[in-house]
Structure 1
Amino acid sequence: MHDLRHHGDAEVRDDGSALVDLAVNVRAGTPPAWLREHIAGSVAGLAAYPDGRAARAAVAARHGLPVERVLLTAGAAEAFVLLARALKVRRPVVVHPQFTEPEAALRDAGHTVDRVLLREEDGFRLDPGAVPEAADLVVIGNPTNPTSVLHPAADIARLARPGRILVVDEAFLDAVPGEREALAGRTDVPGLVVLRSLTKTWGLAGLRIGYVLAGPETIGLLTRAQPLWPVSTPALAAAEACVGPRALAEADAAARRTAADRSHLLTGLGEFADRGVRAVEGAEGPFVLLRLPHAAAVRERLRALGFAVRRGDTFPGLDQRWLRVAVRDRGTTDAFLEALGQALDASRAEPS
């Protein structure tokens, strides 16, 4: 059984201050000072109940949608719970490997969940024909966590059917330069539900803010499943700020730096190819997925050397051969690569 409730923060929860965090996909050095100051300024209004109208309108304008198609949530994770509880579906399907919270939320809500497992030999690329025709709810990430694969929007759109809800988790799409292959803002795909998170790029995991883009009927169902005032005043202030022109420009610049830093990481990892280290090709997210020998032992040795990486065996479709590594600046990456070499040497020196 895969532990669907294991997430990257578990790797650093107890002694994270002593470790370089390559397990959590939140962008390093965030939130920026201007955003911290903006959020702090909202504290003066905490005596009033949260009013999400301005933030909702800002998100709608950012994607060129009417406000009736926007729902603000306490992070994307809350959205998965709302979908699982509010939608009356009979055969939900989750495309794996991917973020495990959608399946966990569906199971907690009493649903029987089918899995479509993308294959390593196919580069973990989506085959729309692999999804059962009878599925009335399909969940897929883009770019997918943990594989870092960015699926063509056209391939995902091919999953849409009358009577089917198509949920696309775009939590890391703003980390892709130009947001290529985005479906957010599309209204021509039947049953489309897009989830966005503002916690990764902006370093707001502790604040919890995200949103859902969907048809008005679906938004209405999810709204009725939410408790009153689900998003705090500081989170609303963050949402409004993070979808403005300044923030979008900053996010795109950060995405381009991440792409360059990822290329540097992949080049360095290529030096270990003769020792069995393989990165999933075509990574487009702020993380890479590695297959390597003795991955569990290497992970523990990396911890001893001061680096936390994410185990891969909790993702359906993966096993103990896999690790996920967040993209960081070149200096951090070079130090990690040196530690990885030491960890691999120690692993190879041990008797099998």
Structure 2
Amino acid sequence: MTFGEQPAYLRVAGDLRKKIADGLLPPHTRLPSQARIREEYGVSDTVALEARKVLMAEGLVEGRSGSGTYVRERPVPRRVARSGYRPAGGATPFRQEQADGDARGTWESRSEQAEASGAVAERLGIKPGDRVMCTRYVFREAGEAVMLSTSWEPLDLTGRTPVMLPEEGPLGGMGVVERMAAVAAQLDDDGEMQAWTFASNPARLPDLRLGDLPEWLRLHVRVGEISLFRRGRKKGLHPEQVDMRAVGIQNEEQKVIAEVRAFVRANPAPVPTLVLFFSDGGVYRNAEIERELREAVEEPVFWQFVGLGRSNYGVLERFDTLPGRRVDNVGFFAVDDIGTVPDPELYDRLLSEFPSWVTAAGRAGIL
């Protein structure tokens, strides 16, 4: 057998790997001995040994003391079905899946401060050498490593917030909604963030203060909680909690847009306003939404819409190309599963259009 320019041990390993994948060497079968590999492939003992080491490093074979080297059993793929439902208290999708009694997954993480490399700085929109929090993850299934992941988060954004350490503190391991609330509160000029929930009707939630974040999330992030047919105020609600029956079930985005616009006009601020608007689709009041956002062009507000899942977002998806506005005051992007988007990437997408709007609005005399 000729091997060409590739190192001989890699070619031997590649051939054995193919036999394992094709089932010619099924699980629990003993791998050919070192002498057999040497004879069959016409290589030295050193090459045969190195080829076996490659397969071991890839997790395809395992050594058994006093017996030899055997093909390992390949794990059966497990289908994962995710839904938009978020349990009270929040969690990342991986944590939700592992709550299943049949799941055998675990993970490890380690966070440390570091300086952003050129590539990381470009991705995060910061300068090389800026301080970032680097978190390295190892995800395991039945004790075996199945995935590695590394995240970098700019400390100018997350530093001194409850999410500075992604897997520690009061929001350790929480989902993106919870962590984004913390970052939004940090970005706000006075340390408070105004928040609304909506469906048929908008309802303003209590202002979010950074120090109150865990309790605020417990009280007010109540995805999927609704009871339409009870009379009177729902029992057991905290005095500050919204009765979700008053909010309803269908989407009326134009109503909450109008209410936010009225709030901004009644509470002028010395800095521009960024609105983060999360939608699960089902947009059908296209004409009313377009009218509200066209009128809002002359206001010091940028509207960043985020679609959650594959759905119908109507006019929101078309706003970037709609003519007749002095500045583009609307951004939009959609993600299939926001819980799988790394936080640095999500922050980058949330803020990607805001700076250019600030520049354009300043030139137009809006700011």
**What TM-score results when the alignment is normalised by the length of structure 1?**
0.31
Q: Structure with the greater relative contact order (CA < 8 A, sep ≥ 6): 1 or 2?
A: 1
**What TM-score results when the alignment is normalised by the length of structure 2?**
0.30
Task: Name the one with the larger strand percent.
Answer: 2
